[in-house]
């Protein structure tokens, strides 16, 4: 019975979404408070219903109810409990339900925290959110229903795809979806503003926390996904320019641009139309990403959910929402008033440059991702656009952006002093170059270009610190004065500095790994030694082991430096018995920020085995930087300014409540 209640809750939520999608929007046109009041209420009910539905599916996984087809297809009674839970979204149907849950979760958040929004804007925003919910509810119910049953029920499930049986999978999709779907809020705000025909600085203030939250989660999700691919797939790479990776990277690039342009809009009421367009584009790219991954047009490591039949449905959703939003934009945007003016050299100017480069970069990635697909559809010719293309185009585009990053925060609004900023950054540039050179000598090798790359990383890091330094007026004012000024800086300033600092760390990691990485492929027999990164890796032999739902052959390696044993590591090849599917579990040892990566290949005749050993210097900087960016996002989110703007009636209501309580 429980399963059917979950199914019915999902069906009923479609009805609720239909109501929330229609009544409040009409109410907003008529300025009818009762009809508009349905929006937050309905959104909370919607969240409740989808929540019930998701909880029921999770329960079915936890108790291994194989009468649910989805559970039978993707679970196994002997699987560890954590993977039973993560298995809920480790498959197409479940992950779409998670997508929907997060969508209605954001709607519920708007309903709860959006008290400061004008009623009409809120009703329209929640209405648009409900439209998206309707589309995805229909998609789930009609093409990807996780509640279909099997009768009679099988006794054992078919197990979860082994490469997904990993802690990384438990965290990666929810984070990624929080990011992807979070941008739906920016989209809904943009569409609502276009419907309402009014958009101003306050709008930017209201939409910014949502964009920031989505961006922060997406940053975390992408970093997590990259790290997961790094240690689970056993190829030793951390970014493959795989279409699925690009699918999550494009909304991130566009979202980063949106974050910066909404800043300009909030402060100066400039770039209004552009910001609205970016908000639409960012979510469109999220939808496109969902389409690319879910429709099965791609075959890649994420191919666990491919079904071409569903592609048409998502394509229709894509056409309706993206096409509709752009049509609305084309119709209403000319009616929006243009905002404040600014000189080319100013904070606004720097942010426009940022937007320009990020948008072009997004377009580049989009081209590189879609071109092979289009070509294959039209001519049947298969080509692959790989790392060389992206490194040439994307890498080149990032260069001026990274150089410009430290300038932005140092320039004044409206009219900036470029020479002044340059003077202040002389020291930073010098320091960055020295640090780059020092790093280069320490690592002892690699092309000369690396120095420039390393310096670029340090440039971003030091530039972020310099921003805080000069804002607090250290060096000029007395220390205590500067310190109190530093403490008085708004949280968002620290958020900015942290995010830019994190970007610098990531650049550093990328350059260091690309330049100084070593790869050794050797055939090892027991007792033989390989060398990498100054460490000796001694192969101690293979051993068989049995896990809960897999068997594995593990190789043991002892790692020593200068004759002293410093670590030991297992690297294994697993066979998941239910699916007869092999996976590679790389052995990874961390030394400071660098890692030694040992992966087993095929056994050779005569008892040897092919072993790949990578030395990955400073690789943790790549994800560490993303982590710092994420922390920057949260710090900025905690800025009190993002929470104000509530109409006075609420303050009065609170006061009245307090008085009543006393």
Q: Per rule CB under 8 A, is residue 37 in the interface with another protein?
A: yes
Q: Nearest Cα to 628, choosing from 458, 457, 501, 462?
A: 501
Q: Per rule CB under 8 A, is residue 518 in the interface with another protein?
A: no
Q: Per rule CB under 8 A, is residue 474 in the interface with another protein?
A: no
CB of 2 to another protein, least distance (A): 5
Ramachandran angles phi, psi of 536, nearest 5°: -100, 130
Q: Which stretch binds another protein (CB under 8 A): 31-39, 290-298, 389-397, 626-634?
A: 31-39
**Burial of residue 290 (number of CB atoms within 10 Å: 0-12, 13-18, 19+):** buried
- Of 132 and 455, which has the nearer Cβ to another protein? 132
Q: Which of 47, 53, 54, 66 binds another protein (CB under 8 A)?
A: 66
- Of 39 and 429, which has the nearer Cβ to another protein? 39
Helix axes 387-404, 449-472, angle to 10 degrees: 30
Q: Per rule CB under 8 A, is residue 23 in the interface with another protein?
A: yes
Q: Per rule CB under 8 A, is residue 15 in the interface with another protein?
A: yes
Q: Per rule CB under 8 A, is residue 610 in the interface with another protein?
A: no
CB of 208 to another protein, least distance (A): 11
- Of 38 and 611, which has the nearer Cβ to another protein? 38
Half-sphere exposure of 450 (CA within 13 A, CB side): 21
Q: Is the peptide bond before 635 cis (omega within 30 degrees of 0)?
A: no
Considering only residues 148 through 187, tell me which ones interact with another protein, judged by CB under 8 A.
148-149, 151-156
Q: Which stretch binds another protein (CB under 8 A): 7-15, 256-264, 518-526, 625-633?
A: 7-15
Q: Which stretch binds another protein (CB under 8 A): 33-41, 301-309, 314-322, 611-619?
A: 33-41
Q: Which stretch binds another protein (CB under 8 A): 5-13, 90-98, 227-235, 585-593?
A: 5-13
Q: Which stretch binds another protein (CB under 8 A): 37-45, 216-224, 225-233, 250-258?
A: 37-45
Is residue 364 within 8 A of residue 393, CB to CB? The reply is yes
Q: Per rule CB under 8 A, is residue 5 in the interface with another protein?
A: yes
Is residue 459 within 8 A of residue 402, CB to CB? The reply is yes
Q: Which of 21, 50, 54, 65 binds another protein (CB under 8 A)?
A: 65
Q: Which of 51, 118, 237, 541 binds another protein (CB under 8 A)?
A: 118
CB of 426 to another protein, least distance (A): 23
Give how far Cα 585 sits from Cα of 164, 288, 350, 435, 592, Å. 12, 32, 45, 36, 22
Q: Which stretch binds another protein (CB under 8 A): 56-64, 343-351, 376-384, 391-399?
A: 56-64
- Tell me the two tokens of residue 426: 């002389």
CB of 95 to another protein, least distance (A): 19
Q: Which residues contact 631 (CB under 8 A, 6 or more apart)?
A: 498, 502
Q: Which stretch binds another protein (CB under 8 A): 2-10, 123-131, 431-439, 503-511?
A: 2-10
Q: Which of 19, 401, 542, 567 binds another protein (CB under 8 A)?
A: 19
Q: Is the peptide bond before 29 cis (omega within 30 degrees of 0)?
A: no
Is residue 229 within 8 A of residue 222, CB to CB? The reply is no
Considering only residues 383 through 442, tell me which ones interact with another protein, judged by CB under 8 A.
412-414
DSSP 323: I
CB of 31 to another protein, least distance (A): 4
Q: How far apart are CA 610 and CA 599, in angstroms?
A: 9
CA 398 to the chain's CA centroid:
19
Q: Nearest Cα to 389, choosing from 187, 243, 539?
A: 243
Is residue 533 within 8 A of residue 596, CB to CB? The reply is yes
Half-sphere exposure of 388 (CA within 13 A, CB side): 2
Q: Which stretch binds another protein (CB under 8 A): 39-47, 212-220, 431-439, 503-511?
A: 39-47
Q: What is the DSSP string of 392-425?
A: HHHHHHHHHHHHHTTHHHHSPSSS--HHHHHHHH
- Tell me the two tokens of residue 538: 């001694």
Q: Per rule CB under 8 A, is residue 73 in the interface with another protein?
A: no
CA 57 to the chain's CA centroid:
25
Q: How far apart are CA 157 and CA 421, in angstroms?
A: 63
Element spanning 382, H or E? none
Alpha helices in 574-638 (DSSP H): 620-637
Is residue 158 within 8 A of residue 76, CB to CB? The reply is yes
CB of 49 to another protein, least distance (A): 7
CB of 120 to another protein, least distance (A): 7
CB of 14 to another protein, least distance (A): 6
Q: Per rule CB under 8 A, is residue 547 in the interface with another protein?
A: no
Q: Tally Cβ neighbours within 10 Å of residue 602.
A: 9
Is residue 511 within 8 A of residue 439, CB to CB? The reply is no
Q: How far apart are CA 165 and CA 587, in angstroms?
A: 17
Q: Which of 387, 400, 647, 655 binds another protein (CB under 8 A)?
A: 647
Contacts with another protein by CB under 8 A: the residue count is 77
Q: Per rule CB under 8 A, is residue 200 in the interface with another protein?
A: yes
Q: Which of 51, 55, 109, 145 binds another protein (CB under 8 A)?
A: 145
Q: How far apart are CA 24 and CA 124, in angstroms?
A: 7
Q: Which of 205, 424, 574, 616 binds another protein (CB under 8 A)?
A: 205
Q: Which stretch binds another protein (CB under 8 A): 200-208, 349-357, 362-370, 558-566?
A: 200-208
Terminal C-alpha separation, the chain: 47
CB of 3 to another protein, least distance (A): 5
Q: Which residues contact 113 (CB under 8 A, 6 or more apart)?
A: none
Q: Per rule CB under 8 A, is residue 49 in the interface with another protein?
A: yes
Q: Per rule CB under 8 A, is residue 489 in the interface with another protein?
A: yes
Considering only residues 249 through 268, tell me which ones interact with another protein, judged by CB under 8 A.
268
Q: Which of 21, 25, 35, 105 binds another protein (CB under 8 A)?
A: 35
Q: Per rule CB under 8 A, is residue 552 in the interface with another protein?
A: no
- Residue 603 in 3-state DSSP? strand
Considering only residues 332 through 371, tell me which ones interact with another protein, judged by CB under 8 A.
340
Is residue 69 within 8 A of residue 148, CB to CB? The reply is yes
CB of 641 to another protein, least distance (A): 6
Q: Per rule CB under 8 A, is residue 645 in the interface with another protein?
A: yes
Considering only residues 125 through 144, tell me which ones interact with another protein, judged by CB under 8 A.
141
- Of 72 and 291, which has the nearer Cβ to another protein? 72
Considering only residues 280 through 319, tell me which ones interact with another protein, judged by CB under 8 A.
none
Q: Which of 54, 83, 147, 623 binds another protein (CB under 8 A)?
A: 147
């Amino acid at each position: 019975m429980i399963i059917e209640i979950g199914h019915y809750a999902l069906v009923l939520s479609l009805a609720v979404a239909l109501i929330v999608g229609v009544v409040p929007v009409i109410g907003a046109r008529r300025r009818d408070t009762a009809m508009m009041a349905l929006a937050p209420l309905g959104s909370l009910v919607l969240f409740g219903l989808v929540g019930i539905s998701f909880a029921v599916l999770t329960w079915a996984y936890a108790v291994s109810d194989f009468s649910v087809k989805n559970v039978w297809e993707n679970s196994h009674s002997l699987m560890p409990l954590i993977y039973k839970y993560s298995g809920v979204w480790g498959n197409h149907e479940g992950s779409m339900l998670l997508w929907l849950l997060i969508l209605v979760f954001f709607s519920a958040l708007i309903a709860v925290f959006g008290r400061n929004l004008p009623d009409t804007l809120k009703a329209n925003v929640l209405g648009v959110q409900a439209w998206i919910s309707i589309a995805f509810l229909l998609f789930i119910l009609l093409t990807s229903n996780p509640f279909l049953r099997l009768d009679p029920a099988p006794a054992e499930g078919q197990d979860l795809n082994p490469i997904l049986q990993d802690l990384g999978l438990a965290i990666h999709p929810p984070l990624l979806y929080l990011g992807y779907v979070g941008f739906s809020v920016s989209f809904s705000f943009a569409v609502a503003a276009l419907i309402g025909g009014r958009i101003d600085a306050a709008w930017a203030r209201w939409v910014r926390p949502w964009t920031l939250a989505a961006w922060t989660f997406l940053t975390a999700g992408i970093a997590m996904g990259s790290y997961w691919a790094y240690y689970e797939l056993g190829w030793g790479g951390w970014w493959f320019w795989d279409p699925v990776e690009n699918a999550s990277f494009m909304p991130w690039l566009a979202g980063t641009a949106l974050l910066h342009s909404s800043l300009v809009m909030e402060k100066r009421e400039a770039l209004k139309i552009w910001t609205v367009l970016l908000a639409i584009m960012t979510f469109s790219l999220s939808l496109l990403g969902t389409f690319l991954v879910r429709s099965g047009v791609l075959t890649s490591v994420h191919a666990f959910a491919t079904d071409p039949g569903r592609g048409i449905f998502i394509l229709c959703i894509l056409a309706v929402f993206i096409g509709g939003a752009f049509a609305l934009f084309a119709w209403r945007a000319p009616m929006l008033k243009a905002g404040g003016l600014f000189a080319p050299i100013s904070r606004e100017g720097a942010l426009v440059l940022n937007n320009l480069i990020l948008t072009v970069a997004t377009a580049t990635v989009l081209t590189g991702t879609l071109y092979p697909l289009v070509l294959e559809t039209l001519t049947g010719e298969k080509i692959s656009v790989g790392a060389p293309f992206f490194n040439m185009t994307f890498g080149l585009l990032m260069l001026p952006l990274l150089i410009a990053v430290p300038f932005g925060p140092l320039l004044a609004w409206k009219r900036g002093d470029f020479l002044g900023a340059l003077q202040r950054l002389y020291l930073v540039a010098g320091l960055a170059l020295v640090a780059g050179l020092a790093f280069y000598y320490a690592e002892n090798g690699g092309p000369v270009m690396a120095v420039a790359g390393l310096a670029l990383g340090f440039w971003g890091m030091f530039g972020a610190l310099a921003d805080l330094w000069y804002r607090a007026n250290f060096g000029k004012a007395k220390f205590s004065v500067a310190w109190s000024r530093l403490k008085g800086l708004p949280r968002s300033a620290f958020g900015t500095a942290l995010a830019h600092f994190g970007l610098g760390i990531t650049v550093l990691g990328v350059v260091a790994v690309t330049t100084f990485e070593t790869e050794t492929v050797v055939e090892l027999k027991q007792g033989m030694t390989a060398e990498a990164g100054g460490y000796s890796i001694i192969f101690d032999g293979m051993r068989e082991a049995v896990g809960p739902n897999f068997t594995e052959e593990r190789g043991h390696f002892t790692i020593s430096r200068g004759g002293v044993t410093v670590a030991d590591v297992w690297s294994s090849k697993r066979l998941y018995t239910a699916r007869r599917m092999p996976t590679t579990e790389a052995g990874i040892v961390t030394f400071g920020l660098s890692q030694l990566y040992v992966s087993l290949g095929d056994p050779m005749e005569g008892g040897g085995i092919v072993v790949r050993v990578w030395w990955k210097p400073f690789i943790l900087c790549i994800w560490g930087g993303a982590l710092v960016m994420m922390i920057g996002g949260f710090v900025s989110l905690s800025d009190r300014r993002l929470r104000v703007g509530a109409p006075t009636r609420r303050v009065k209501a609170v006061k009245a409540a307090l008085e009543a309580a006393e």
